[in-house]
Structures are given as C-alpha cells and as structure tokens.
Amino acid sequence: MEAAGYEKEVEVAVRVVQMACSLCQKVQESLVRSPPDLITSKDDRSPVTVADWGVQATVSWVLSQSFGSGNTSIVAEEDDQTLSSKDATVLLESVVNTVNSCLSEAPKYGFRAPEKELETCEVLEAIRSCNSTGGSKGRFWVLDPVDGTLGFVRGDQYAIALALIEDGEVILGILGCPNYPMKKEWLNYHQRYYRLMSNLSPPTFGSWHKGCVMYARKGSGKAWMQPLVHDVGELDLHNNARVVRVSSVSDPACATFCEPVEKANSSHSFTAGLAQSVGVRKQPLRVYSMVKYAAIARGDAEIFMKFARAGYKEKIWDHAAGVVIIQEAGGVVTDAGGRPLDFSKGIYLEGLDRGIIACSGALLHEKIIKAVDASWDSSNL
Ligand SMILES: [Mg+2]
C-alpha cells in the first residue's frame, strides 16, 4: 500500500490480525472436534468463546508493545467480568494458554514474543485495558475480536475486525476472514469439506483457497487483500497483497444481496421484501458477520443492508473496519438517510437514520435509498 503516513500502523495492524486469524483457526478446529467447554454465554445469551478473549488479549498486548501502553487506547467488545468470576477458572486457564501459545509465535509475524509467558493477571489486564469509550477526539483502536461468534462456533464464517479512528474518522480498517476463500464459488462447498481438504494438504504460503485479510487506509483509493500467512518473518507483508475493487453492476436486477444468517438483531423480511421490490433476482449471499463487507469490497456481492430491531443500537466495532474497506474499494456506505455513519459518538453509532446501506456504487446506492423510503412506512420497523 503506497501511503502518506500510517505505514507502521498498517504494518502492525495487518500482522496482528493475521496472528489473530491463526489463533481463531486453532480454537475453531478444537471446537469443531470437541465441543464445547470453550463456549459460554453473555448476558444477552450470545455465545462467546476462548477465541473472543484470546484475540482481544493478544491484540491488546501487541498494540501496547508496538505503540507504548500510554499511547494505546482501545475500544473492544469483550470485558473481563465473566472470566474473572470464580466459576470460570477452567475457561480462564484455557484463555491464558491460548494467548501464550499465540504469542510464542509472535516472531513469525514480525513481533517480539514476551520474555516469559504471560501470567493470568497480565492476560486479564490486557483484556481489561481495552476500556476506551471512543469519542470525537484523539486516536483509538476499535476491535471486534470475533465478529459472528455464532458462525465461528458452527465452523462457518466469522471475522476479526480492527480499525483505527482519529478525531472521529475511521483511518484504517483491517478485516481478517479466516474462512472466506479467494473465490466466491468456493463458498458453496460445505465448510467440512474445506477442513478435510486442508487437513489432507495444508495450505502453503500464498495459496488462496482458505482465508484472507483485507485492509484499507482512508483516502488511499485502494483496498487490499492478502492470503492468510503463517510466517511473515522473512517476507514483505504487502508483496502478496492484491488490490480489490467493488463490482461495476448498477442494475439491481443483476445485483447480489448479502443477507445475515442470524436473524437476532436485524429485520430479515424487510430487507428481503425490499430486495424483491427493487428487482433483485439473484440468490442472496448468506454469510455470517462482517464478511458481508468483505464480500462487497471484493465484488462478490453488491448490496448489504442492516435494519436493527427496535431497541438494538449498532456498535462501532461491528462496522468501522468494513466501512472504510468498502469505501476505498469504490463502494458507498451510509445510513438510510444517505448520511455517513458517525463513529465519533462513543461506542454506539448514535443518530443512525433507520439502518445501514452498503452498496458497490453510488447509482445502486441511490436506488436502494429510494426503495427504502418508499416501503418504510408500511414496514413494522
Ligand atoms: Mg464479537
């Protein structure tokens, strides 16, 4: 990525997301093999796993080492409450082991490994220190350690999302998509088939058949994709990256719609009805998590909308990385009123008009906004 400034931030952030992808792959393998001491539930009953805390601790530790703990402020999804409770000792132990095993590989990703294994209290502190509440001033990182935990525990799609925000603007976005293969067609195969195949012949460096990492810097006019790597030590990180671009389809009839698999926080029927009303005829692309943003940035799909159910507020970590990647890849993301998403108001996307609309281009975006306006009043949202 040719860039004025932020070279170190891009470098560190992409590498740490690569490392987090590797952590998640290992946990996902073990979950699928032997479920599930490693899963617990949050208060809202959404699942959370060793990987969520493991990634948060690892990314927090690496960013603090790289930029100094005094200069590193992080907004992240998880806290240490569940883990610190008395009946979570087994869970906590496996988080600590997972983090240490991941950090022992840090040199492969161009980072220094800790001099000795992290103590339990250090791991908890790394998780707890991600306690920034964001806002409109200064610099902070935004992390969703595992986005789409349901997809993750099912052996399906999930994403690791990291973004850098400065004075309320998203400057960098990195999306690690460990199960999102190079080619869209490969998505149609069952995930188990992937796992079987990659066990038979482990992916070599530069092979694209498993996952990818996408990233973009605001204003660069480019978004990039690289394969998952397992040893970047001797390699220029960006050698293997290629530019991705949104699709040029502007006719809704030829567009592909992204749909969430999980229905908990969004209104499926409204978006499905809307797709129909604008003439979308193709099969929707149903994927878990922010992989939907990656799909649009890469031209695999053209439209993604999310209308939250009443009472649900969108959080910045679920969108920041994906938004900048789509924008730099040539796409458009706004709320349903056509306004940019506001990342400067704390951990929520405050003031969001109805929902989020992401499209591959301005023309398509305009058509979708009109269609939303036309059918909004008759919806139950
Ligand atoms: Mg999450």
pLDDT score at 204 = 47
Using 50, 70 and 90 to split pLDDT, how confident is the model at 46? low
The encoded tokens of residue 147 equal 């986005």
297: alpha, beta or left? (left if phi > 0; alpha if psi -120 to 50): alpha
* Nearest by Cα to 226 from 178, 258, 188: 178
Instruction: Return the minimum-mean-pLDDT range out of 38-42, 273-277, 294-298.
Output: 38-42
51 CA from centroid of ligand 1 (Å): 10
Residue from 49, 98, 149, 256 carrying the catalytic annotation: 149
Q: What is the total residue count of the chain? A: 381
The question of whether 72 is a catalytic residue gets the answer no
b (16+ CB within 10 A) / e for 122-153: bbbbbbbbbebebbeeeebbbbbbbbbbbbbb
251 within 8 A of 225, measured Cβ to Cβ: no
d(CA 321, CA 174) in angstroms, rounded, equals 6
pLDDT, mean of residues 298-324: 93
pLDDT score at 310 = 79
d(CA 214, CA 174) in angstroms, rounded, equals 6
Domain parsing of the chain, residue ranges? 7-244, 252-376
* Nearest by Cα to 303 from 263, 255, 262, 356: 255
| CATH fold for domain 252-376 | D-Maltodextrin-Binding Protein; domain 2 (3.40.190)
191 within 8 A of 179, measured Cβ to Cβ: yes
The encoded tokens of residue 264 equal 């908990």
* Nearest by Cα to 20 from 183, 209, 228: 228
What is this structure's pTM?
0.91
d(CA 248, CA 374) in angstroms, rounded, equals 25
d(CA 311, CA 343) in angstroms, rounded, equals 19
Is the pLDDT at 267 greater than 90, yes or no?
no
pLDDT score at 17 = 97
155 within 8 A of 28, measured Cβ to Cβ: yes
Architecture of domain 7-244: 2-Layer Sandwich (3.30)
The encoded tokens of residue 230 equal 């397992």
d(CA 60, CA 8) in angstroms, rounded, equals 16
pLDDT digits (tens, 9 = 90+) for 354-368: 999 999 999 999 999
Instruction: Return the minimum-mean-pLDDT range out of 72-86, 167-181, 186-200, 320-334.
Output: 186-200
Angle at 12 (CA atoms; ends 9, 18), nearest 5 degrees: 135
270 within 8 A of 242, measured Cβ to Cβ: no
pLDDT score at 206 = 39
Residue from 52, 80, 156, 300 carrying the catalytic annotation: 52
317 CA from centroid of ligand 1 (Å): 8
Q: Is 262 exposed, middle or buried (0-12, 13-18, 19+ CB in 10 A)?
A: middle
159 CA from centroid of ligand 1 (Å): 9
Q: Is 264 exposed, middle or buried (0-12, 13-18, 19+ CB in 10 A)?
A: exposed
19 CA from centroid of ligand 1 (Å): 17
Is the pLDDT at 203 greater than 60, yes or no?
no
335 CA from centroid of ligand 1 (Å): 22
One-letter identity of residue 254: C
Using 50, 70 and 90 to split pLDDT, how confident is the model at 34? low
pLDDT digits (tens, 9 = 90+) for 93-147: 999 999 999 999 999 999 999 999 999 999 999 999 999 999 999 999 999 999 9
Residues with CB under 5 A from ligand 1 (ion): 77, 144, 146-147
Residue with tokens 């860039």: 3
d(CA 200, CA 72) in angstroms, rounded, equals 41
82, containing H or E segment: helix 81-84
d(CA 174, CA 266) in angstroms, rounded, equals 24
Q: Residues at the annotated binding site for Mg(2+)?
A: 77, 144, 147, 318
317 within 8 A of 173, measured Cβ to Cβ: no
Instruction: Return the minimum-mean-pLDDT range out of 136-140, 154-158, 161-165, 291-295.
Output: 154-158
What integer best gives the mean pLDDT of the chain? 87
286 CA from centroid of ligand 1 (Å): 18
In three-state secondary structure terms, 224 is strand
For the chain, the C-alpha Rg in angstroms (whole number) is 20
Is the pLDDT at 189 greater than 60, yes or no?
no
pLDDT score at 282 = 83
* Nearest by Cα to 252 from 352, 357, 181: 357
Q: How far is CA 114 from the centre of its chain?
A: 26
The question of whether 52 is a catalytic residue gets the answer yes
Q: Residues at the annotated binding site?
A: 77, 144, 147, 318
174 within 8 A of 13, measured Cβ to Cβ: yes
One-letter identity of residue 380: N
